[in-house]
């Protein structure tokens, strides 16, 4: 979008550059986002549900509530039978019902590589929303889902492991960030979700926009054990290296090995929320997360400076 003369108006509260756009109309504030992915698992029902959870995540990252959606489908009738698409849509419908989000329609194109996702509109209740800006020195960094999904889906595609052996990771991908969003809205100073740019890429966005340095401790980051095994075997998606190259000029590495850096850079599908909180609120946040059944890990802190530091 750099260099484009984009039209905005007085109702545009947040334009291009965050997890979603925010727009005011009348007494309401709305949030808009779009996301779609290629298959990450072989089961079409699971793919539809995971992609739906992934598409809704940017709304939750803003601390807002999704209310309706439009489906985006790339499908090749010559290569795939219609029942496959029906299963994808069934997975989508079930996940949208869980999220209390209405499907209003959508659009399908003929595409050799299948794709599925949603354009989502949400509402910012109480006219409040979160952004990637606002972290302060001394804040703690919280994460709500493990990382390493991109490596695992790469292993599935290469036939190195089956989906039934990764049910724990699939369950996390299926899990909505709705409850985590409620916690973030109450306590976070800055918030994003961990998806395609990996943990380091999304952490860098918070650091850059908040004008702080984020210090991440690898030993405190939740990682799938299988992902550790496969990345050491040099099975990882190209996106992991692309993400690392994106942040490396702003990254201070205090002794991590190459595979650890790739894990932190691994592109995630339907990852958790990454947000900063004041240290004084830590016990209150952890207590509320436990009551709501949300996993939460404190993986580092914000300090004075710029960029990201990673250590063991």
pLDDT tens digit sequence for 174-192:
999 999 999 999 999 999 9
Q: Are 57 and 271 in contact (CB under 8 A)?
A: yes
Residue 62 lies in a domain: yes
Q: Which domain holds residue 100?
A: 12-127
Separation between Cα atoms, residue 234 and residue 262, nearest integer Å: 10
As a whole number of angstroms, the distance between CA 288 and CA 295 comes to 10
The reported pLDDT for the residue numbered 228 is 97
Tokens linked to 89: 């849509």
Let me know whether 170 and 265 are in one domain: yes
- Contact between residue 56 and residue 176 where contact means Cβ atoms under 8 Å apart: yes
Cα separation, 18 vs 56, whole angstroms: 15
Output the pLDDT for position 71.
Answer: 97
Boundary-marking domain end, from 91, 106, 127: 127
Q: In the prediction, which pLDDT does 279 show? A: 97
With respect to residue 19, please indicate whether it lies within any of the assigned structural domains: yes
DSSP 11-62: TEEE-BTBSSEEEEETTEEEEEEEEEE--SSS-HHHHHHHHHHHHHHHHHHT
Total structural domains within the chain: 2
Strand extents, DSSP E, the chain: 12-14, 21-25, 28-37, 65-75, 102-110, 115-123, 140-143, 190-193, 213-217, 251-254, 273-277, 297-303, 307-311
Report how far residue 151's alpha carbon sits from residue 262's, in angstroms, rounded to the nearest whole number: 9
Task: Report pLDDT for 1.
Answer: 61
Residues 148 and 212 in one domain: yes
The residue ranges of the chain whose pLDDT is under 50 are none
pLDDT computed for residue 72 by the predictor: 97
Tell me: do 76 and 109 sit in the same domain.
yes
Q: Name the pTM for this structure.
A: 0.94
- Residue 58: CATH number of its domain: 3.30.1330.10
Give the DSSP letter string of 116-141: EEEEEEEE-GGG----S----TT-EE
Residue 161 lies in a domain: yes
Are 147 and 267 in contact by the 8 Å Cβ rule? The answer is: no
Domain boundary among 99, 127, 155: 127
């Amino acid at each position: 979008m750099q260099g484009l003369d984009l039209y905005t108006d007085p109702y545009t509260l947040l334009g291009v550059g965050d997890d979603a756009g925010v727009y005011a109309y009348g007494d309401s504030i709305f949030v808009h986002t779009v996301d779609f992915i290629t298959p990450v698992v072989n089961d079409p029902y699971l793919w539809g549900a995971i992609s739906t959870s992934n598409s809704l995540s940017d709304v939750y990252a803003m601390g807002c509530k999704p209310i309706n959606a439009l489906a985006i489908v790339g499908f090749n009738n010559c290569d795939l039978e219609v029942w496959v698409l029906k299963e994808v849509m069934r997975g989508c419908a079930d996940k949208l019902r869980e999220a209390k989000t209405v499907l209003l329609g959508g659009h399908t194109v003929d595409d050799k590589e299948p794709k599925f996702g949603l354009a989502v509109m949400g509402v910012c209740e109480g006219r409040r929303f979160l952004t990637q800006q606002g972290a302060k020195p001394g804040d703690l960094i919280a994460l709500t889902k493990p990382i390493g999904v991109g490596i695992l889906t790469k292993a599935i595609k290469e036939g190195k492991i089956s989906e039934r052996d990764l049910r724990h990771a699939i369950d996390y991908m299926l899990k909505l960030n709705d409850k985590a969003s409620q916690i973030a809205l109450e306590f976070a100073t800055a918030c994003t979700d961990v998806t395609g740019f990996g943990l380091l890429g999304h952490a860098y966005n918070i650091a850059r926009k908040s004008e702080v340095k984020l210090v991440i401790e690898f030993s405190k980051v939740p990682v799938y054990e299988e992902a550790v095994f496969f990345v050491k075997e040099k099975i990882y998606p190209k996106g992991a290296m692309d993400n690392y190259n994106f942040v490396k000029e702003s990254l201070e590495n205090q002794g991590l090995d190459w595979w650890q850096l790739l894990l932190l850079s691994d592109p995630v599908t339907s990852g958790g929320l990454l947000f900063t909180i004041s240290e004084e609120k830590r016990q209150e946040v952890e207590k509320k997360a436990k009551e709501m059944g949300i996993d939460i890990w404190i993986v580092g802190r914000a300090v004075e400076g710029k960029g990201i530091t990673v250590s063991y």
